[in-house]
Structure 1
Amino acid sequence: MNPGQGRSGGCPGQAGASLISLLVALALGLLLSSAVVALYLGSKRQFLADDELARVQENGRYAINLLRRELLLAGFFGGLAGSALPAPPETGPGCGATGRWPLGPAPAVDLQPEYRGGVPLTLGGVSLDCLPASALQRGSDLLAIRRVAGEATLANGVYAAEISAVDSGHWYLRWREHTGDADWWQAGRIDAAEAAAGSGAWYWRLHPRIFYVRRYSAAPADAIPTLCAEGLAPSGMLTQCLVEGVEYLVLELGIDESGDGVPDNYLRHPTAGQLQRAVTARVHLLQRGLTPLRGYRDRRRYSLGQATLDLAGDGYLRRVFSTTVQLRNAAVWPLAE
């Protein structure tokens, strides 16, 4: 009888070899599973980071282009010089203690650099008490722009394309070229004689806005900094929030000291007199993501022109957006008397 006879299972040592193979297979499986999980988590983090960066880029570009267009049109009043603008109406809505902005005499481009608290006061001397002071982002600039629409609602008695009437209750700059008369008019009904081709009547809708950064979007609890604007509505000033994630707004004005139309220097804190000699503006925005990224800490120092920001290390992505704008209209006329 052979020594191996009577043993169940076949070859000697087979059971031991199978156990080792099983352990090796389990170890390899765990390693492979860990690698797959790590790859998945890494891919998910990268996807979230790319998605957040795309949102930052999109919002930042939109915000900087919006402000660029506003500054290009700042001071445009249908071809009228500042000295030819009408006197403000005796009563009317507006911003400021006397309610004279934007219908009263004020710079076409005005600002308060580095807001630090209290009622904002612009370089042009306008008290912007219509703004929510408690919600304004400290250290950010405020920008006030006066202008009319880029196209006349009624041009020499003819309505613009796809327009058949004025917007009831809104304010217009009304100008009659035959007499040279101009006044501010709160829209009611246009006289039939003026709404006839060749009448010489021009109506330009007023589009003034004060841009600022608010510390929240929909409610204080969301803590999403947002670019907002205060605009003139029929019954007063109306808040409109435009772009979420805008954390800081910084402006530098190019001042023409020599009178050749070229900026000699850029200032963050020009005087009221220098404000009238501004021919260009540099706009800087710090755009923040809306959702923090897990495992990411932002410890960068950000330069927004002459301003430098050191922010707490949080998990938000940020990017700086900048542009330089020529003040085509605002620089050619002084304050109305």
Structure 2
Amino acid sequence: MKFSRIDRQRGFSLIELMVSILLGLFLTAGVISVYIDSKSNYQSEDELARIQENGRYALELLKRELALVGFFGGNLNTGGIAPGTVTADCSANWTLNTDEPLDFINDFASSLTTVNGITLGCLSSADIVPGTDLVTIKRTAGDFTLKNGVYNDGLTKADDSQWYLRMAGFGDVMEWTYIDSSGGFDSADVGLGSEVAYWEYNTNIFYIRNYSVDTDDGVPTLCAERLVGDSISNQCLIEGIEDMQIEFGVDTDGDGVPNQFKAAPTGAELGTAVVARIYLLVRSIDPVAGYTNEKTYSLGEKAVAAKNDRYLRRVFTTTIQMRNTTLPAT
């Protein structure tokens, strides 16, 4: 008797195949989810680090400027200095006029006229973020370039293309001097005992521009119209600064201590301000995938409503004493 044996080879059944495919999809989805979460966390940490760096740098920059506003080589009597003229000014004879070293526009809407009545013609209204503050600061450097004919440590000549406040007779005579690329200080002023000092001069208008490099990039940026060479020109400094609010501590009784803080001071009140409180709202440069910002922010008296977008934000604030704005004239 013969027996025949048929060897059968079995594969996956349809149900088994479908189950394995489904398990594979679950595993793939899990891997993708972990990847997306990791990428989002990395992006969030990277953007937060940039926010911290930009916010702190912007605060330090504004703190130094406001701490020195109204400082003109340590001389208390600058009213007699002839204003002088730069090639491209922001307003007629404004840049080299020391009468009002601090000026301000609160919550910019459309007007470029400051609380002291100066129209800042070097700015473009279309570039400024509405509702943000503008502040103008005039000062000399915190240290001299030349004093009694001797250069400061580490210096051997004047900077090219730079305005200086020249003081002769230890401040009895004060005038503006522009050093171009063709030469330095007058040779008669250099040498111990000349009783002549030179101090670098700076003028800045700080504001928030609605773009960084290209007009359509949408990156808010802290910019400055500043005295560079013999003209006022634009320099953008720090990206991601979305809002700037400054409140001034006004001294109403002349004791050097602020009696009240004003977000919208008048020109007269600004002239008696001894303290400035700075608020900056700093935004991430790029949106973060999977994140929605539903937070509201407080910048002093100003409340910023939730944007409901994908940008991270942080508020930075500091208070600085302005010792030079209300110094008595001699």
Q: TM-score normalized by structure 2?
A: 0.91
CA-to-partner distance for each residue in 1:113-143, whole Å, 9 max, x for gaps? Answer: 011014x111122111111222111111001
CA-to-partner distance for each residue in 1:77-121, whole Å, 9 max, x for gaps? Answer: 1111144551212x43464442x2221243222111011014x11
Residue 158 of structure 1 is aligned with which of 128, 150, 153? 150
Write the mapping of 1:114-153 to structure 2, written as runs, cut at 5 A: 114-118=107-111, 120-153=112-145
Q: Is the 8 A contact 1:176 1:200 kept in 2?
A: yes
Residue 86 of structure 2 is aligned with which of 92, 99, 114? 92
Indicate whether 1:69 and 2:64 are aligned: yes
Letter in 1 for 2:186: D
Residue 179 and residue 148 in structure 1: after superposition, are their counterparts in 2 closer, same or farther (change >3 A)? closer
CA deviation after TM superposition for structure 1 residue 256, in Å: 1.0
Residue aligned with 2:175, SS: strand
Q: 2 CA distance for matches of 1:326 and 1:280?
A: 4
Q: TM-score normalized by structure 1?
A: 0.89
Count of residues paired in the alignment = 327
CA-to-partner distance for each residue in 1:246-277, whole Å, 9 max, x for gaps? Answer: 11111100011122211111001111111111
Q: 1 CA distance for matches of 2:164 and 2:139?
A: 11
CA deviation after TM superposition for structure 1 residue 224, in Å: 0.9
Indicate whether 1:109 and 2:102 are aligned: yes
What do you get for the CA RMSD once the two structures are aligned?
2.4
Letter in 1 for 2:244: L
> Aligned residue for 2:201?
206
> Aligned residue for 1:227?
222
CA deviation after TM superposition for structure 1 residue 24, in Å: 4.8
Residue 331 of structure 1 is aligned with which of 318, 326, 329? 326
Residue 229 and residue 20 in structure 1: after superposition, are their counterparts in 2 closer, same or farther (change >3 A)? same
Letter in 2 for 1:202: A
> Aligned residue for 1:269?
264
Letter in 2 for 1:269: A
Q: Is the 8 A contact 2:40 2:290 kept in 1?
A: no
Letter in 2 for 1:319: R
Name structure 1 gaps, 5 residues minimum.
none
Percent identity, aligned pairs only, is: 40
Write the mapping of 1:250-261 to structure 2, written as runs, cut at 5 A: 250-261=245-256
Residue aligned with 1:222, SS: coil
> Aligned residue for 1:79?
74
Q: Is the 8 A contact 2:208 2:241 kept in 1?
A: yes
Q: 1 CA distance for matches of 2:280 and 2:287?
A: 19
Letter in 2 for 1:107: E
Q: Is the 8 A contact 2:78 2:98 kept in 1?
A: no
> Aligned residue for 2:288?
293
Q: 1 CA distance for matches of 2:217 and 2:17?
A: 53
Name structure 2 gaps, 5 residues minimum.
none
Q: 2 CA distance for matches of 1:279 and 1:330?
A: 7
Residue 314 and residue 128 in structure 1: after superposition, are their counterparts in 2 closer, same or farther (change >3 A)? same
CA deviation after TM superposition for structure 1 residue 170, in Å: 1.9
Q: Is the 8 A contact 1:94 1:102 kept in 2?
A: no
Write the mapping of 1:5-44 to structure 2, written as runs, cut at 5 A: 6-9=5-8, 15=10, 24-44=19-39
Residue aligned with 2:139, SS: coil
Q: Is the 8 A contact 1:110 1:145 kept in 2?
A: yes
Residue 167 of structure 2 is aligned with which of 151, 155, 175? 175
Q: 2 CA distance for matches of 1:175 and 1:164?
A: 19
Letter in 1 for 2:220: P
Q: Is the 8 A contact 2:79 2:98 kept in 1?
A: no
Q: Is the 8 A contact 1:93 1:232 kept in 2?
A: no
> Aligned residue for 1:243?
238
Residue 295 and residue 177 in structure 1: after superposition, are their counterparts in 2 closer, same or farther (change >3 A)? same
Q: Is the 8 A contact 1:280 1:324 kept in 2?
A: yes
Q: 2 CA distance for matches of 1:296 and 1:169?
A: 48
Residue aligned with 2:234, SS: strand
Structure 1 ranges of 4+ moved more than 4 A: 15-26, 82-85
